Chains A and B, each alone.
Chain A
């Protein structure tokens, strides 16, 4: 099971967190404003490998944090 490091609470199991999505949300290559809106709402990078993500420590300190995670193995990266 995945464990994540919260800057306030330390290393905690993923059950305590809510997934907040990947960063950046929309690639810079998309320039048309309407297309950027559609992409922001619906499309995902869905990266297979190292990603940067936002997570919310819902059952802990209730603060947002940025996490680096390898989605190929589902482990947090230092």
Chain B
């Protein structure tokens, strides 16, 4: 048995739900499980249930490209994601479970002068807000990633790049398991295959959820749902600025050389990294039209393959081994939506689009603090649902790494 497997503790699954809890969390992905973990460990709130319709991490937690970074374009966002990045660095010590965290740096390539200006601004913004990002020349990029074609097949020349030094990856399902095991050990009930079919109301207040196993009462219901959050929020009478779009990704067969960094191109809208097994992992932009379909299409794969081989000709010799899609809740301003909804007893952590995995620790910590104290932590205060009505949106599409 490998050392990594030995660190995984068996999860103490709940057999059946109790009739009432202090907190019911809908959605057993990273965000829901991390919130439950921090409620139990930091605030001593252990009368908590996490309800998952399928198995834990079956949604976008287990479908993303596992990139952890804080090179965002707004001070509020950089501070938030930097907190998350730092929490990831200490997550193995905190939970005692190996999550295969590896700091390898992430490079964002600029192919035009306007893109160079954007990346220079990103470096200044990041440095001012606590994240380490510096500009590098094409020569320095070639040293980091020798496989790159700096001419971009003659069409997408590399003018320079921003290098986010603390960019990292981690095994996404292990992150969910680490939080699940830690929460369950402390008495949190994690119920798999328990879909929430509705919300229970008492006047204007949400007082619980209904499931096929019967109703469950709760003082607080937190929606940590990915994908089908709009339908759940609608039951509470909450409209969300969220559209759900599928995003495809694929891995190739084993590439038997090291690929040192995570590489992204905002102009080509694709990102490349190497998994622990040596496979090349590629993701790109989401589908233009909203849908809930997880069917990968040949057209999408062909498009991604075209883009990625402009920069990395060696990948023409690789084969696509596996492909999948996740359905991403793209918020109107490309920033997450966390906190109160205006309906008593109903909180959301949503709008995680293509930027949810990297935010799991910080968002879980902040949502747990909000539930435990009733006060919104300063770190997530700008990300409230009410920002749209107040015209204080956090438009940051240029940092999403996707369309």
- Residues of A near any B CB (own CB < 8 A): 1-2, 13-15, 18-19, 27, 30, 38-39, 41-48, 69, 71-74
Contact = CB atoms under 8 A, between A and B. Distances in A.
Given A38-B388, A38-B389, A45 B230 contact: yes
A11 B132 CA distance: 50
A1 B325 CA distance: 13
A39 B327 CA distance: 23
Interface in B271-300: 287-293, 295, 297-300
Interface of B: 228, 230-231, 239-244, 246, 287-293, 295, 297-300, 332, 388-389
Chain A contact residues, majority secondary structure = loop
B330 to A, nearest CB: 10
Nearest to A75: B293
A34 B188 CA distance: 42
Contact of B291 (A27, A43, A44, A71): A71
Contacts of B230: 44-48
B288 A19 contact: yes
Contacts of A14: 288-289
Contact of B293 (A19, A46, A74): A74
B397 to A, nearest CB: 15
Nearest to B231: A48
Given A46-B230, A48-B228, A72 B241 contact: no
B240 A46 contact: yes
B241 A42 contact: yes
A38 B392 CA distance: 12
B292 A43 contact: no
29 contacts: A1-B297, A2-B289, A13-B299, A14-B288, A14-B289, A15-B299, A27-B239, A38-B389, A42-B241, A42-B388, A42-B389, A43-B240, A43-B241, A43-B388, A44-B242, A44-B290, A44-B332, A45-B230, A47-B230, A48-B231, A48-B244, A48-B292, A69-B289, A71-B293, A72-B291, A73-B291, A73-B293, A74-B289, A74-B291
Given A41-B388, A48-B231, 11 more contacts: A2-B289, A14-B289, A43-B240, A43-B388, A44-B230, A44-B242, A46-B244, A69-B291, A71-B292, A71-B293, A73-B293
